Amino acid sequence: MRARRRGGSSTATRRGRRERRGVAVGKRIRRAIQDKGIDPQLVLCSSAVRAVQTWEAIHTGIPDGRRVGIEPELYAASAESLLERLRGVPNEVDAVLAIAHNAGIGDIAVGLAGTGDADTLERMQAKYATGGRATLMFDGRRLLLGWAGAQLVEFVVPRDLPG
């Protein structure tokens, strides 16, 4: 026998609401990517179900012909592991989109962002929300990329996006 609090919701109901919210957020992220003209040459995506679902929701907002790697080693990767993976990207690749889990993806964004608008840096450091997107830029060879070596250009979370 399974007891449930009166007025509570079942696990399946909560999961359904979460999935509907995820689809809606994915559409908003896709529109924002299109509006910003974000054009990665390479997409690195964790093999986790939610990360792949995010990629599926946003991929139509990115021009065709981009290399996409669904990589099991990005599943629950630490910031240090993500940094090592980014250092391994060939230098001729100018723009990379990484889709992975918190805490790793938030930790690497915060760790790499050495400069940028102070309020935006503070907001990102306070909470890297699920579905957040940090745009970071750096000069030099990716192999030499290190902590605090990039500029935070933009930080957006789903609630910032038009609905």
Per domain, the residue ranges of the chain are 11-160
CA separation, residue 134 to residues 4, 65, 84 (Å): 40, 23, 18
Average confidence score pLDDT of the chain: 88
Alpha-carbon distances of 66 from 1, 25, 52, 93, 135, rounded to whole Å: 51, 22, 16, 11, 18
Nearest 5°: phi and psi at 89? -75, 135
Which tens digit of pLDDT belongs to each residue from 36-77? 999 999 999 999 998 999 999 999 999 999 999 999 999 999
Confidence of residue 19 (pLDDT cuts 50, 70, 90): low
Query: Any idea what the Cα angle at residue 125 is, between residues 129 and 152, rounded to 5°?
Result: 95
Q: Is the dihedral of CA 28, 29, 30, 31 positive or negative?
A: positive
**pLDDT tens per residue across span 75-96:** 999 999 999 999 999 989 999 9
Distance, in Å, from the CA atom of 90 to the CA atom of 85, rounded to the nearest integer, reads: 11
| Integer Cα distance of 110 and 134 in angstroms | 9
More confident residue, 23 or 90: 90
pLDDT at 160 over 70: yes
pLDDT at res. 108: 97
Question: For residue 143, what pLDDT is reported?
Answer: 77
Out of 30-34, 108-112, 139-143, pick the least confident.
139-143
Whether the Cβ atoms of residue 153 and residue 137 lie closer than 8 Å to each other? yes
Number of neighbouring beta carbons within 10 Å of residue 79: 19
Q: 3 falls in which pLDDT band (50, 70, 90)?
A: very low
CATH dotted code for 11-160: 3.40.50.1240
Q: Are the CB atoms for 55 and 84 separated by under 8 Å?
A: no
Which helix (H) or strand (E) covers residue 153, if one does?
Answer: strand 150-156
